[in-house]
Amino acid sequence: MQTTHRPRRSVPPPLPEWFPRGTALLRDPSLNKGTAFTEAERDALGLRGLLPPQIGTQELQVARVLENFHRLDNPLSKYILLEALLERNEALFFRVVTDHPDEMMPIIYTPTVGLACQQFGHIYRRPRGMYVSAGDRGRIEHVLRNWPQREAAMIVVTDGERILGLGDLGANGMGIPIGKLSLYSACAGLHPRQCLPVMLDVGTNNEALLADPLYIGTRQKRLSGDALDEIVDEFVEAAQRVFPGVVIQFEDFANHNAFRLLEKYRDRVCCFNDDIQGTASVTVAGVYSALRVTGRRMAEQTFLCLGAGEAATGISDLLSSAMVADGLDPATARGRCWMVDSKGLVVASRKDLAHHKKAYAHEHAPVADFLGAVKALKPTAIIGVGATPGLFTREVVEEMARLNERPIVFALSNPTSRSECTAEQAYAWSGRRALFASGSPFDPVVLDGRRYVPRQGNNSYIFPGVGLGVVAVQSTRVTDEMFMAAAQTLASHVSDADLAQGSLYPPLGEVRKVSAHIATAVAEIAFRDDLASIDRPLDLLGYIREQMYDPRYVSYV
């Protein structure tokens, strides 16, 4: 293998008989080093003459990639460039991303991945991951056994029905599992061989896709109800047999399925839903950071979510737990969390509520709009997760600033086109007092000579570290306590200097360090709750760091 979980040896071990040579080696992205193959490697591996004579370092190759990357002015073109790099040289791709996260992560994930998913059939080049279609019912285990890497330890699976804030993209949603797993490797060092993207292609109700001749998915209406459940159940059971102990991350399922599937499987297999639990964790971390600025306790807060789906419910659940930990009883804590959906404030008198909304449907007179809810409830924080852009209006932000010395304004919907407001709007409309976080990146803002550096409340701060911790100690379950520990750990890595410039999260350049600490905190919970399947190492953080994939070349001879 090109890379290893363990410290590098000064003398490489003998290569196995199966190790490819010549053009087969150059075509294997997990082993290819391109022009960085040494003279000795070129002789031993049949590469002499197949490469230009000049031997380059990985650092030189990174510079070449960046030169071509910066030559492009279109985010989708940059996405295609990076995908092509991943297809030919895995280590170089991850080296570029880990060394330049601020530039690369908005391209390989939000916000550009949303556009990539919309255009997925048109930019498709080479298969990655596994496509399990409705026609595979009854033979899903056989399909999964076609995956060449038996060490797969983390699966990200979607059915493409609710991709970001873009809706039903069917099989085009495969860009999300691919992007998420790239972040697992880049942000937390989960080895690429341990990562398996899966698309459950059960059709789509998107008429534009069904009419698109370049659409890559099954051309049928989306399965639902029992038919969908049969596919998911067969997939979950087959995955456990083919990849024993594998962690399953459910991603971008529609609300009506996401909660139900999480409840169905969370106590049966090692799984979680990042839209519900990961979003909650990163949001709670941002709130903890904001409270360091306000000087107020968690138990003193009132939260109002714009949106009442997976993200809002997960956030409210974890915020309630945080308030209980700060001294409130559970009922009072839930009563401090409110939601507004497309029909107005979620209140107990409404008869149209989905099951997941009922815990946060409190006694209150109906309120028709978000501004009215802000005036009525006087929240200390507003959290936008409804994927409806522009609803944090000037009037809303000004009212928050009238109610609070330092209003907490989290516009978390993504991609950027779905954001509830921009960073500049939040700062300007609040009289420069907002404590702001977003779901997609915004550039620094300069107002009245002061520079504000907003940072994303991006799940990439959370789920890679959680996954690494779970995989490293072979935990049999993923629990809500792990996500609370992840939130507290992330918040602890926000410095006073970060807060002084308006940043509620650490720099993305520190994400691998933060992920190692999150993984350690998650592992501690696993050991505490008897969920870990290994003996506890004496130096748990050191053990976690040893597991992390390092995308630097190793010598083959």
What is this structure's pTM? 0.94
CB 54 within 8 A of CB 35: yes
* Count of domains observed in the chain: 3
Residues 531 and 478 in one domain: yes
Q: What are phi and psi of 122, to 5 degrees?
A: -90, -25
Q: What range does the domain containing 508 cover?
A: 461-547
284 and 382 share a domain?
yes
Record the tokens describing residue 501, joined without a space: 């410039």
CB 277 within 8 A of CB 314: yes
Radius of gyration of the chain (CA): 24
pLDDT on residue 110: 87
Token pair for 492 = 């602890």
> Would you say residue 522 lies in a domain?
yes
Contact 104, 93 (CB under 8 A): no
Count the Cβ atoms, other than its own, within 10 Å of residue 534. 13
With 0-12 CB in 10 A as exposed, 13-18 as middle and 19+ as buried, what is 240?
A: middle
CATH assignment of the domain containing 536: 3.40.50.10380
**SS3 assignment, position 157:** strand
H helices present in 1-57, as ranges: 22-26, 39-44
472 and 433 in a single domain? The answer is no
Percent helix, strand, coil in the chain (nearest 5)? 50, 10, 40
In a domain, 246, yes or no: yes
- Residue 269: what pLDDT? 97
Active site residues: 109, 180
The tens digit of pLDDT for each residue in 157-185 reads: 999 999 988 999 999 999 999 999 999 99
- Domain final position from 269, 290, 311: 269
340 and 402 housed in the same domain: yes
DSSP state of 2: -
| 429: CATH | 3.40.50.720
Is 75 a member of any domain? Answer: no
Amino acid at site 361: A
The neighbour count for residue 400, using CB atoms within 10 Å, is: 26
Q: What does the pLDDT look like over 359-391, one tens digit per residue?
A: 999 999 999 999 999 999 999 999 999 988 999
User: In this structure, are 439 and 291 located in the same domain?
Assistant: yes
Upper half-sphere CA count for residue 28 (Cβ side, 13 Å): 14
Q: Are 425 and 392 in contact (CB under 8 A)?
A: yes
Residue 304 φ then ψ, to 5°: -130, 115
User: Which pLDDT tens digit goes with each residue over 107-139?
Assistant: 999 889 999 999 999 999 999 999 999 999 999
Residues 241 and 310 in one domain: no
Distance CA 315, CA 281 (A): 7
**Three-state SS letters, 267-311:** CCCCEEEHHHHHHHHHHHHHHHHHHHHHCCCHHHCCEEEECCCHH
- The first and second tokens of residue 542, run together, are 């050191």
pLDDT confidence of residue 2: 44
Q: What is the rounded CA–CA span in Å between residue 140 and residue 235?
A: 6
Task: List, in order, residues 6 or more apart from 488 with CB less than 8 Å away.
Answer: 285, 288, 521
CA distance 472 to 475: 8
Contacts of 273 (CB under 8 A, 6+ apart): 249, 250, 251, 253, 258, 261, 262, 310, 314
Residue 477 lies in a domain: yes
β-strand 247-250 against 154-158: which pairing, if any?
Answer: parallel
- Of 435, 453, 471, the one marking the end of a domain is 453
- Are 437 and 529 part of one and the same domain? no
Is residue 205 domain-resident?
A: yes
Domain final residue, candidates 453, 480, 513? 453
DSSP state of 414: S
Longest dimension (CA), the chain: 79
Number of CB atoms found within 10 A of residue 310's CB: 27
* Parallel/antiparallel/unpaired status of strands 408-411 and 435-438: parallel
Three-class secondary structure of residue 375 per DSSP? helix
**Whole-number pLDDT of residue 4:** 41
Same domain, 316 and 395: yes
In tens digits, the chain (557 residues) has pLDDT values of 344 444 444 566 788 888 999 999 999 999 999 999 999 999 999 999 999 999 999 999 999 999 999 999 999 999 999 999 999 999 999 999 999 999 999 999 988 999 999 999 999 999 999 999 999 999 999 999 999 999 999 999 999 999 988 999 999 999 999 999 999 999 999 999 999 999 999 999 999 999 999 999 999 999 999 999 999 999 999 999 999 999 999 999 998 899 999 999 999 999 999 999 999 999 999 999 999 999 999 999 999 999 999 999 999 999 999 999 999 999 999 999 999 999 999 999 999 898 899 999 999 999 999 999 999 999 999 999 998 899 999 999 999 999 999 999 999 998 888 899 999 999 999 999 999 999 988 999 999 999 999 999 989 999 999 999 999 999 999 999 999 999 999 999 999 999 999 999 999 999 999 999 999 999 999 999 999 999 999 999 999 999 999 999 999 99
Do residues 248 and 136 share a domain? Answer: yes
Identify whether 350 is part of a domain. yes
Q: Are residues 303 and 429 in the same domain?
A: yes
Same domain, 443 and 325: yes
Is the domain of 308 the same as that of 424?
Answer: yes
The token pair that represents 328 in the structure block: 């409130």
The C-alpha atoms of residue 383 and residue 437 are separated, in whole angstroms, by 9
